[in-house]
Amino acid sequence: MLKVRKNEDRGFADHGWLKSFHSFSFANYHDPEHMGFGPLLVINEDRVAPGQGFATHGHRDMEIISYVLDGALEHKDSMGNGSVLHYGNVQRMSAGTGVRHSEFNHSQSESVHFLQIWIEPNVKGIAPSYEEKSFDQKSKTGRLRLIASSDGRDGSVMIHQDAAVYAAILSRGDSIRHSLARGRNAYLYAASGGVTANGIELFAGDALKLTDESLVTMGQAEKAEVLLFDLPC
């Protein structure tokens, strides 16, 4: 079964310094039909004004992935980590028993645009941990590049869940196929551009839920960047 989640139907919050679109229920946005998709609970598309950001706050028992689309995102946490993320960087923070962190736009002149992704872990009460990897444009062009997995294979960041997250950049002429094993679902999120997936046109901010399907196909793309989540049912 295929179900489209349109960009314009997402939740939206405008805090002045932050403009955020919510694919799933989050904070003051509540939609009982979009409470998550399997262990995938949050995809927030955030744009943060220059020099602004999220002050220190806490998380617990959650796998948090940041995927930078444009600009520079500065991160600091209670584990002693500190870095500035740019396009191509993927950050994973396992909150476990509890972690506090802050996220700020490192630039005083340009906004930062990134995706904040939360995945529910399959274990609780673990020690918090942090990981950061870089995936260049070439590694994602015309193919699915694994960026997060349960075992950190192929150079991906490791998450505590039986899930796999892929990124791809597609242009005209590119075609991608991804097989889904029995008992798996998929969530395809269009981060930018346009792409046709399983015969359905998707544009930036759109998503496609695939349940009881055996194959994800992508093609007829126009400067598209997508994230594909291969998830347990």
Residue 31 neighbours by CB distance under 10 Å: 14
Which superfamily does 138-232 belong to?
Jelly Rolls (2.60.120.10)
- Residue 24 pLDDT: 98
Contact 147, 156 (CB under 8 A): yes
Q: What is the mean pLDDT of the chain?
A: 97
Q: What is the mean pLDDT of residues 34-55?
A: 96
- Mean pLDDT for the stretch of residues 102-107: 94
- Which ranges in the chain are annotated with CATH 2.60.120.10? 10-135, 138-232
Q: What is the mean pLDDT of residues 40-56?
A: 96
Class of domain 10-135: mainly beta
pTM (predicted TM-score): 0.96
DSSP for 104-167, please give it: EE--SSS-EEEEEEEE--SS-SPPPEEEEEE--HHHHBTS-EEEEESS-GGGPEE-SSS-EEEE
Quick one: pLDDT band at residue 201, thresholds 50, 70, 90? very high
